[in-house]
Amino acid sequence: MTFRMRNLGKSFMIMMLSASVFFVSTAVFAEGQKDTTAGSGEKKTVKITAASMFDENHPFTQSYYKFEELVNEYQDEVTIEVKYALNKSLGIETDYFRFMSQGESVDLAILAPANIAQRVPSIAIVDMPLLFKDVEHRNRVLDSDLFQSIGDDVVKKANIRMIGYAGGASRSIISNYPISNMDELQGFKLRVQGAPIWAKVFDAVGAQPSVIAYDEVYSAIQTGVIQGLENEVVSYDQMRFFEVAPHYTSNEHSLTVRPLFMSEKTFKKFSPTVQAAILKAGKEAGAYGSQLELDQSTVVREKLIAEGLASFHEFSDADKEEFVKRATPALLEYVEEAGFTDLYAGIQKIK
């Protein structure tokens, strides 16, 4: 009898202990559930990564900052938090393109169309030399729907989406010796972008173009593989090309268009409402960056001159006309071969 009572006592104690554990566990679980439920009314935070070869002061990075501000202003479903991978911490633009196309590592980036042209040939016309009459013409073309079919092509073939247009400054010639006219341009060995039209144009004007990766340009000039490149003033300063090529010759052979891209995989994660906000914010952020780049160009030029870091030269109107005269046949031949004739005509018709 005593033995049975002891066993019953032990069983009772075990039951009570089990019950206590159950009630404590249930209380903890319920508390956790209460916290989750309480937080369910809050906006979800979605983190995306924007990549750039440049620092926080560059217009491209400033465009990202503006995008983050605007996209959260234009919708209240989610909070989009942008992580910034700057100063080539995730590589260069060709790397960003690959990452976005694969839907990994990079969600947002501003890219030169030439970096995508091998996959999507039609995008080359967006940034073709001698395409725009002036900045106002460039902006009116971008505000039209002329590039819509190209945007659709980019989504289909590359799995990325154009959501805005940055860039805007003119591109000119950077060299390790003075070039101030067409005669001095002859035989000049320069780096050009990867789209074929760039090599065709500079070959037509008498230079010796080479396609070299952007992050290899500095050392290529240093070692004599090339003598310079063509670029905008702001990037000339940011990449410190003046250290190996201290001459900048303004011939303004191109006005840049640098689309702001988002990975299509990232874009599709959002609701239609958020997607609409992304497109609106992207367009405005690109325009903001374009104006900033134009404003910075003058400031950077004056700084480089004042600090004695670079010498600036100007093509005369006659030399600019000669450049256009020599380049145009090659440009039009390329337009026809690439099937851009109607699109090119449409761009030129915009006043």
Kindly report each contact of residues 70-76 with a partner whose C-beta sits within 8 Å and lies 24 or more positions away, as own/partner. 70/277, 70/280, 70/281, 70/284, 70/285, 71/274, 71/277, 71/278, 71/281, 71/282, 73/281, 74/276, 74/277, 74/280, 74/281, 75/273, 75/274, 75/276, 75/277, 76/43
Q: H helices of the chain, where?
A: 2-39, 59-73, 93-102, 135-143, 148-158, 182-185, 196-204, 217-222, 233-238, 264-267, 272-306, 317-337, 341-349
3-state DSSP assignment of residue 144: coil
Q: Are strands 228-231 and 170-175 parallel, antiparallel or unpaired?
A: antiparallel
φ/ψ (deg, to 5) at 220: -65, -35
| 44-169+257-294 and 170-256+300-349 have identical folds | yes
- Predicted pLDDT of residue 40: 54
Under the phi-then-psi rule, with left for phi > 0, alpha for psi from -120 to 50, and beta for the rest, what region is 103? left
Map out the domains of the chain as residue ranges: 44-169+257-294, 170-256+300-349
Look at domain 170-256+300-349 and name its CATH class.
alpha beta
Q: Quick check: 218 and 236 in contact, CB under 8 A?
A: no
Q: Kindly give the confidence (pLDDT) of every residue in the chain, 351 residues in length, as a single tens digit, with 9 standing for 90 and above.
A: 333 333 434 443 433 434 443 333 333 333 333 333 334 568 899 999 999 999 999 999 999 999 999 999 999 999 999 999 999 999 999 999 999 999 999 999 999 999 999 999 999 999 999 999 999 999 999 999 999 999 999 999 999 999 999 999 999 999 999 999 999 999 999 999 999 999 999 999 999 999 999 999 999 999 999 999 999 999 999 999 999 999 999 999 999 999 999 999 999 999 999 999 999 999 999 999 999 999 999 999 999 999 999 999 999 999 999 999 999 999 999 999 989 999 999 999 998
327-331, long-range: CB within 8 Å, 24+ apart, which pairs?
327/129, 327/130, 327/201, 327/204, 327/205, 327/253, 328/130, 329/204, 330/200, 330/201, 330/203, 330/204, 331/128, 331/129, 331/130, 331/197, 331/200, 331/201
Give yes or no for a contact between 41 and 7, defined as CB atoms under 8 angstroms apart: no
Q: Which of 315, 158, 318, 293 shows the shortest CA–CA distance to 237? A: 293
Which neighbouring-strand residues pair with 255?
170
CA atoms within 13 A on the CB side of 336: 6
User: Domain 44-169+257-294 maps to which CATH number in 2.60.40.1180, 2.40.50.140, 3.40.190.170, 3.40.50.740?
Assistant: 3.40.190.170
The first and second tokens of residue 274, run together, are 């958020």
